[in-house]
Structure 1
C-alpha cells in the first residue's frame, strides 16, 4: 500500500539525539501554542511517528515495549510532541490489530506518512459528556444517508492535534433505520480532515501541553462512505469497549510521555546545580548535601516510575496475566512518581524553579497533565478497593 517506512534506530544514542533536537524548540512552541512542527519533523525523519505500522503495510511493526521507549524519549524532548505521537502510534497499532479502516483511507494516511508528519487521533470527548472514560453515550451522530453512506454531525472537545490532523477517528452513535434507540450501535468514524463541514474553534488555553493544539471541533453534515463507520461491540456488562484499546501500549503510552518529562527535569536540575555558584557559597550548589539529597529523591522517583512502566511491558511480553487487574493502579503510581520528581526539583530551587527563563516551570505544568488521562486516580483506586473488598 505504501513504500517501506523508516525503521527507527532505538539505540540510546539515536533516541538521545532526537530528544535533544526536539527539546531545542520546545520552549518556543510552549510560548506560542503553535503545532510543534519542527519537533514533529524530527520524529518523522527518525521513523518515530509510524513505528507501530504493521509490517504488512510496509511499517516496522514495533511492539509495546519499543514504542514506550520512543514515547519516553519524545516526552523528554517535548511533552506536546510526545502526546501527538502517542495518539498517532495508538491509531496505527489498532489498525495493525484489526484492519478496520477503509482501505483507501489507510492507504492515503500511509502515503502522507512517507512524505511528512501525518497525524491521526481518536476524537472522543464532548461538551455535555466530558470524557467517555466515565461512561455515557456520545451525542455526535452518524446518520444513514440514502446512498448507504453516513452523515456525521456533532461537536467534540479536547481534540488533540487540531487542524494539523490528517485523519479523525470520531466516536459517534449510529442513527439508522431499524436501530434500537435504547441500545444504539456505537462506533468510530474514520474522517479525512479536509472534508467539507469540519470547523475548528481555537479553545485550547491550558496550563500544560500548550503546543498540543487540543481544540474543539464541529462536524456539520460531513459525508462519509459506508465503510467509514467501525462498530464498537458491547461487553458482557453492556458497556461499549473497543477490544483494540485493551493493550499495554494503549494503557501506558501516555504514562511514558510523563516519565520522559520527569527525565527532562532531572537533566535540567543536575545541569543547573553544577553551573550555579552563589557568591556566598563560592562553589556549585551541586556540592551541598541539600541539593545532593534532592537529586537523590528525584532519581528515586524516576527509578520507581521507569521500573513500573517497563516492568508492565515485560510481564505482558512474558504472557503474564495475574497483574492485569492492577494495571490502573500501576498507572496511578507512575503518575505520582513523575509528578513528585518534577515537584522536588522545583521546590528545592526556589525562584529559579518557577521562572520562565528556565525549563522547570514548563516541565511542571506539563507533568501535571498526566492526571487527566484515564483512568483518573479516584476511579482506579475505587475500582481496586471494590475488587479487593468483594463489592
Structure 2
C-alpha cells in the first residue's frame, strides 16, 4: 500500500469550537468521577475534523499549523482537558509526520484510511518506571529484538495517556544490537502481548487514563518502525517538536483556567450574601481580583498564540523560546485557578462545583515536558553564554 490512496480529509471546523467546548464540558464531571472516557467524545471531534487537523497536505489532510492547533487545544481544554490531552497526542503525531516523513507507507496508509471513517487515536509511549522521561537522557529499557523479518518488543511503559482507547501505540524502544538504535515501533492496539494495566489513580486528569502498558514479546512487522537511528543525547527530540508540545499543552491548560474563570464570574454574579444585599461582583475587592486573573490569562494567551504563529512562519529562534512560554502559560493558568479558589473559599473546594475539578486538573500542567527546572536551567545557561 502507498499513501497516494489516502482519502481527502476535511478541514477542521474551527467555527464549531464553542459548541464542542460546551458539549465536552457537559460530560466532564461524570468522566472525572468515573475515570474513563467513552469514544462518543472523540466521535464529536472526528465529525468536526479536529482529530486529523494536522495531517499533511500530501496525504490528503488540511495540515493545520501550530497556530490553529493551540486554538483547538485551548477550546478542548476548557471543555474536558482529558479529551484534549489525548487529542493533543494524536495531533502532535500527525504534525510530526507532516514536518518530516518517517512513517512507513503501509502503516501510514492504514492509519489515514481508518481516520477518514472514524476516530483513530495515536500516542507515543516513551516514559518508563526506571528511566522516567527520556528528555533527561538515557536509553529505554524496552527492547526490540530481531525475530525473522520483524521485531519482538518487551518492556513496560508508564503514564501512557489514553492507553485503553488508543488505536496505535508508538513504542519508543532500543534495539539489542551491539550498537543500539532507538526508534518508535508501531504497535496496533490489541496486538498479542500488549496489556494495559489500570494503575492510573491521579489527582487530576483522571479520565485521561494514563495507565501502564506492558509489552511481553510483542511481534512487530519489519516495516512498522519509524525513525530508527543511533541513540542521541536528547532522546531524539527536536526544537520544533518541543514547540508543538510546549505551546500546545500550554494552551490546553490555559483553557482549563478559562473554564475556572468563567465559573468564577457566574458565581460572583449569583452569590448575594444577606449582609451585603448585593452580588459579590459589585464589590471593588472582587472586581480587582478578577481583573488580575483576566490580565494574566489574556497576556498568556497572547504570548502562546503569537509564538505559535512565529513557529509556523519559521521565525529564527521561535521554537527555542517555546519552553519559556509554556512555563509562563502554565504558571498563569495555575495561579488564576488558585486565585479563584481563594476568592470563593469553601465553594471552590466543594466537589459539586467544577472549580474543585479545574484546580486538580490545572495542577497537572507542571508535570509535562519541558518541566520548569529544565526550562530555567536552559534559559539561564543561554543567557550566561551570550554574555560571555
- Normalising by structure 1, report the TM-score: 0.93
Cα distance change, pair 34–281 in 1 and its aligned pair in 2 (3 A): same
2:181 aligns with 185
Q: Out of 212, 215, 219, which is 1:216 matched to? A: 212
Contact 1:7 1:59 in 2 (8 A): yes
After the TM superposition, which of the residue ranges 225-234 and 161-170 deviates more from structure 2?
225-234
2:348 aligns with 353
Question: Stretches of 4+ moved more than 6 A in 1?
Answer: none
- Following superposition, the deviation at residue 322 of structure 1 comes to 3.9
1:4 aligns with 8
1:321 aligns with 316
1:344 aligns with 339
Count of aligned pairs between the two proteins: 382
Contact 1:353 1:361 in 2 (8 A): yes
Give the Cα–Cα distance (whole angstroms) in 1 for the partners of residues 8 and 319 of structure 2: 35
Give the Cα–Cα distance (whole angstroms) in 2 for the partners of residues 231 and 64 of structure 1: 22
Cα distance change, pair 144–197 in 1 and its aligned pair in 2 (3 A): same
1:306 aligns with 301
- Following superposition, the deviation at residue 232 of structure 1 comes to 4.9
Give the Cα–Cα distance (whole angstroms) in 2 for the partners of residues 280 and 274 of structure 1: 16
2:262 aligns with 267
**2:17 corresponds to 1:21:** no
1:157 aligns with 158
2:88 aligns with 86
Contact 1:152 1:219 in 2 (8 A): yes
2:380 aligns with 385
Give the Cα–Cα distance (whole angstroms) in 2 for the partners of residues 230 and 48 of structure 1: 24
Contact 1:8 1:48 in 2 (8 A): yes
**2:167 corresponds to 1:166:** yes
Give the Cα–Cα distance (whole angstroms) in 1 for the partners of residues 225 and 314 of structure 2: 33
Contact 1:35 1:211 in 2 (8 A): yes
Contact 2:242 2:319 in 1 (8 A): no
Residues 192-231 of structure 1 aligned to structure 2 (within 5 Å): 192-231=188-227
Give the Cα–Cα distance (whole angstroms) in 1 for the partners of residues 360 and 329 of structure 2: 17
1:59 aligns with 61
1:371 aligns with 366
After the TM superposition, which of the residue ranges 370-379 and 309-318 deviates more from structure 2?
309-318
CA deviation profile, 1:57-86 (whole Å, cap 9, x unmatched) = 222111110111011010010110110010
CA deviation profile, 1:297-321 (whole Å, cap 9, x unmatched) = 1101111210210111122234322
Q: Out of 271, 280, 296, which is 1:276 matched to? A: 271
Give the Cα–Cα distance (whole angstroms) in 1 for the partners of residues 40 and 275 of structure 2: 42
SS class of match (1:24): helix
SS class of match (1:340): helix
Contact 1:26 1:36 in 2 (8 A): no
Cα distance change, pair 283–239 in 1 and its aligned pair in 2 (3 A): closer
Contact 1:98 1:244 in 2 (8 A): no
Give the Cα–Cα distance (whole angstroms) in 1 for the partners of residues 229 and 291 of structure 2: 48
5+ long unaligned stretches in structure 1: none
Contact 1:160 1:213 in 2 (8 A): yes
Give the Cα–Cα distance (whole angstroms) in 1 for the partners of residues 239 and 119 of structure 2: 24
1:45 aligns with 47
- Following superposition, the deviation at residue 247 of structure 1 comes to 5.6
Contact 1:33 1:211 in 2 (8 A): yes
Q: Out of 284, 289, 309, which is 1:289 matched to? A: 284
Give the Cα–Cα distance (whole angstroms) in 1 for the partners of residues 295 and 354 of structure 2: 21
Name the Cα RMSD after superposition: 1.8
